[in-house]
Structure 1
Amino acid sequence: MVQEYLIALGSNLGSDQGDRTQTLAQALAAFVDRGIQLRRVSRFYSTPCFPAGAGPDYVNAAAALAFDGSAAELLEHLHHVEHLFGRERKQRWGSRSLDLDLIAAGDAVLPDASLHARWRALPPDAQLTETPGQLILPHPRVQERAFVLVPLNDVAAGWMHPILRQNVAQMLATLPAHLREEPVPLLGNDL
């Protein structure tokens, strides 16, 4: 059954496909080649590197995709596309040619609410070193990250977080103003 998925895209190194912006545009084209339909794509945004000082600034975006398969199958496609663009998973939150994060699969909570709560409550120092052994949806940090929420607001402002019971616009409004202002739209990137 075809379902809508929300993803976040980012690049702070670019790839052999071009600079950061070209890399994101080419990655979106690669989805179509894999049978994944682009429903909506956000503007591209310049955002400070996260965590601060870890590398060059990012270009970030978000997209709503239609895919006839499970979240785990889509994640495999996302990892394959990252690999095509030279992504190497060496360091958590390190610089990268392409980062594709599966943010949400409708109102699904994976694998279950209690494990989701554990990862959502993980202390910041543990976030640097621990990685889940399975797919956690919605992404446990979505509500904290302006570089995800600002572009996501372009394509899915009304998507309701199934646990927090807030939509994207509401989660974005709860962030401090200085964080909401960090993502700056790039000109001339309408896709």
Structure 2
Amino acid sequence: MFGNRSNIVVGLGGNLPFQGSPTATTLRKAVQMLASRDVVIRSVSRFYATPCFPAGAGPDYVNAAVALETSLSPERLLDRMHEVEAAFQRERIQRWGMRTLDADLLAFDQLILPDLTRQSHWRDLPAAEQIRATPDELILPHPRLQDRAFALVPMADVAPDWVHPVLKVSVRALCAALPEDERAAVRPI
């Protein structure tokens, strides 16, 4: 059993309304649903309007990050996140497709899963392969974290000093290393 952790960060996003509610409302409700006896919400970032990724794949997104503590293992926390997604009728039809809610486990303390070799393989995967290939296991930290302003900008609100255990760089520095136009496209709502 895992003890309380303070550097666990979940990314939330969506670009489709759920039962007529705006995406920001869905994200707020998802945070409430994620909280439980086993999951304590420590902080929630501002909500951000972000361009659809990949470009042209649908309406723009609303993204946020949640810092939490849990006694759950990373795999069980991911199961809980999938339960929350299902409650908002998340359908996994198309990779990076439109969705009512997406919950990604971005970081779980300093854990590297399943191991450094596999994490590095997925982190270094060429862009064309990223679209076609899907890991069949939990990869931590999230292998695309360092590349995505829509994840890093909200994460900087709740865990700016978290250091990537492989890259040895803080969220603040990873965010600053992104192209300025990508950071500027992530706008607080």
Q: CA deviation at 1:129?
A: 1.1
* CA shift for structure 1 position 156: 0.3
Mapped to 2, the partners of 1:135 and 1:14 lie a distance apart of 28
Q: 1:136: which partner in 2?
A: 139
Cα deviations by residue, 1:41-98 (Å, 9 ceiling, x for unpaired) = 0000000000000000000000101111100000000000000001011100000000
From 153, 156, 172, the counterpart of 1:153: 156
Return the letter of the residue paired with 2:60.
D
Equivalence for 1:167: 170
Aligned to 1:189: none
One-letter amino acid matched to 2:4: V
> Which structure 1 residue ranges, 4+ long, deviate > 3 Å from structure 2?
none
Deviations 1:100-142 (A, max 9, x none): 0000100000000011110011111111111101000000000
Tell me the amino acid that sits aligned with residue 3 of structure 1: R
Aligned to 1:181: 184
Q: How does 1:88-127 map to 2 (within 5 A)?
A: 88-127=91-130
Read off the aligned partner of 1:52 and give its amino acid letter.
Answer: A
Q: What is the distance in 1 between the residues matched to 2:95 and 2:148? A: 16
TM-score (norm 1): 0.95
Q: SS in structure 1 opposite 2:27?
A: helix
TM-score (norm 2): 0.96
Bigger drift between 24-33 and 152-161 goes to 24-33
Contact persistence 1:17–1:23 (CA under 8 A)? no
Shift of residue 35, structure 1, vs aligned partner: 3.7
Instruction: Give the structure 1 partner of residue 4 of structure 2.
Output: 2
Partner of 2:54: 51
Gaps of 5+ in 2: none
**Paired residue secondary structure (2:132):** coil
Aligned-pair CA distance for 1:2 = 1.7
What's the C-alpha RMSD, in Å, of the aligned pairs? 1.0
Structure 1 unmatched runs, 5+: 187-191
Aligned: 1:71 with 2:74: yes
SS at match of 2:12: strand
Equivalents in 1 of 2:66, 2:12: separation in Å? 8
